[in-house]
């Protein structure tokens, strides 16, 4: 019985020892890689505001983040106002609409200018989860000029590629989807 008491007392004493650290001790860490986001056209949810000559309409897209951390988007960089969307017969964007091509449609991103890469701030930041996707309706961010041909009636459009995004990576709460956003001048 006395042996048990001594062992128990010795273990208690050992847990109260103060342990130091040798000078020059080190550890290693590594940062994650950076991968580009992907923005793709999607048919669902469908656009609420539809295009017509002289009007603006919605654009629906899915943003995919392959990074192991959330990415927050605060702005978009637009192509020029002479870079037109291509017209298609269905929402799958598989069959081109005759007479409504990327050279004739007169459908552009709203607020695009003669300068490629013009930056436009989103009305609300969008955060895409780590290794996740977010579907977004960009409200009234496409426009059709009054010069659009009649062949572009009842047509689905593949918008021109954005030239970039303004985004940061790091800890953030993901935006719940589907989301709605827009940009202004």
**Domain residues of the chain, as ranges?**
35-181
pLDDT of residue 22: 73
Q: 166 pLDDT exceeds 90?
A: yes
Share of residues in the chain with pLDDT > 90 (%): 77
Q: How far apart are CA 133 and CA 164, in angstroms?
A: 17
Q: 37 pLDDT exceeds 90?
A: yes
Closest-CA residue to 101 (of 43, 157, 163): 157
pLDDT of residue 15: 56
Q: How far apart are CA 62 and CA 168, in angstroms?
A: 18
Residue 175 or 11, more confident: 175
Q: 11 pLDDT exceeds 70?
A: no
Residue 23 or 12, more confident: 23
What average pLDDT does this structure show over 56-61?
A: 97
Count the Cβ atoms, other than its own, within 10 Å of residue 77. 14
pLDDT of residue 133: 98
pLDDT of residue 2: 44
Q: Which contacts of 88-94 are long-range, i.e. CB under 8 A and separated by 24 or more positions? A: 88/155, 88/156, 88/157, 88/158, 89/155, 89/156, 90/156, 91/43, 91/46, 91/156, 92/43, 93/41, 93/156, 93/158
Residue 53 pLDDT level (bands cut at 50, 70, 90): very high
Residue 1 pLDDT level (bands cut at 50, 70, 90): very low
Closest-CA residue to 154 (of 108, 90, 103): 90
Count the Cβ atoms, other than its own, within 10 Å of residue 30. 5
How does pLDDT run across 101-145, given as a tens digit for each residue? 999 999 999 999 999 999 999 999 999 999 999 999 999 999 999
What average pLDDT does this structure show over 163-181?
A: 94
């Amino acid at each position: 019985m006395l042996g048990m008491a001594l062992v128990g007392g010795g273990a208690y004493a050992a847990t109260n020892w103060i342990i130091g650290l040798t000078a020059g001790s080190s550890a290693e860490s590594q940062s994650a890689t950076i991968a580009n986001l992907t923005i793709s056209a999607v048919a669902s949810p469908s656009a609420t505001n539809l295009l017509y000559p002289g009007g603006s309409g919605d654009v629906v897209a899915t943003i995919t983040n392959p990074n192991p951390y959330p990415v927050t988007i605060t702005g978009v960089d637009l192509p020029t106002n002479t870079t037109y969307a291509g017209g298609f017969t269905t929402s799958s964007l598989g069959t081109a609409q005759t007479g409504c091509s990327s050279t004739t449609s007169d459908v552009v991103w709203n607020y695009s200018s003669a300068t490629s890469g013009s930056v436009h701030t989103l009305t609300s930041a969008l955060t895409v989860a780590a290794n996740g996707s977010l579907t977004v309706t960009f409200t009234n961010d496409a426009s059709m000029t009054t010069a659009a041909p009649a062949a572009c009636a009842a047509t689905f459009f593949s918008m021109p590629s954005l030239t970039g995004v303004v985004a940061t990576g790091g800890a953030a709460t993901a935006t719940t989807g589907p989301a709605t956003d827009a940009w202004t001048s």
